[in-house]
Amino acid sequence: MDIRKQLIILILVLLCAPVSAQKKEKLITLKFTNIPLSEAMPKVEKQSGYTFFYESQQIDIKQKVSLNVKNETINKTIAALLKGTNVKFEIDATHIILYTGKNNKAISGQPQNISGTVIDESGEPIIGANVMVEGTSTGVITDLDGKYTINAPAGSNLKISYIGYVTQTVKAGRNSTVKLVEDSKTLAEVVVIGYGTQRKSDLTGGLVSVDQK
């Protein structure tokens, strides 16, 4: 019986080993000198799989930063990136939250899925509207019903835009409806560039034919 138990334990250890290896943190290798923080962040995001969150009014993304790391963890990489600046950071499962001051975090609350709907003045859903978490590169577009779901920290701002409409910035909230107002100046300059800017009410069928002339 003891031998059997030992064999079972050994098998479990062997089975768990590959899983543990897969969960290891990605190591980062990056080198650049004196570039804006706004250019540095996408480079880190690409290698690490993490997303930056920050309040644009607090963090100066134009300030120059340098980095030279090889096979480093995300914590050491960000510490090296922000060395010499007044920017502090915290890291959770998938996000790097930037802030300034000991008790002045840029974005409060853990990131969560935020859902909403974007409509026009007549109440029709707007298809393909851009929804961005302000101060980050995180964004989505609305679906055929004008709906969106985006991962954003509670208290963050969402910037919602669409060609021919005035851009709006709203607080991230669950199941919110945002109404966009037409921008008469921009609308006068809009031309047909494809099928990506139609509203749901403008779609008359599943098929569209194009005159070859």
pLDDT tens over the chain, length 213 residues: 555 555 555 555 555 544 444 446 789 999 999 999 999 999 999 999 888 888 777 788 899 999 999 999 999 999 999 999 999 988 877 888 888 865 455 454 566 788 889 999 999 999 999 998 887 778 889 999 999 988 887 677 888 999 888 998 888 776 688 999 988 765 555 544 454 544 444 444 444 444 444
Amino acid making up residue 38? S
Question: How high is the pLDDT of residue 137?
Answer: 74
* 154, 133 Cβ separation under 8 angstroms: no
The three-class DSSP label of residue 42 is helix
User: How far is the CA of 192 from the CAs of 30, 59, 78, 125, 188, in angstroms?
Assistant: 42, 38, 44, 20, 12
**CATH architecture classification, 28-100:** 3-Layer(bab) Sandwich (3.55)
Q: Which two tokens stand for residue 75?
A: 């914590």
> Domain map of the chain by residue range?
28-100, 111-195
Residue with tokens 């899983």: 19
Backbone conformation region of residue 123, classed left if phi is above 0, alpha if psi is from -120 to 50, else beta: left
Count, residues in the chain: 213
* 78, 96 Cβ separation under 8 angstroms: yes
Longest dimension (CA), the chain: 83
Nearest alpha-carbon partner for 34 in 60, 61, 67, 78? 67
Given the DSSP bridges, would you call strands 64-72 and 87-91 parallel, antiparallel or unpaired? unpaired
Q: Which CATH number fits domain 111-195: 3.40.50.1000, 3.30.420.40, 2.60.40.1120, 1.10.10.10?
A: 2.60.40.1120
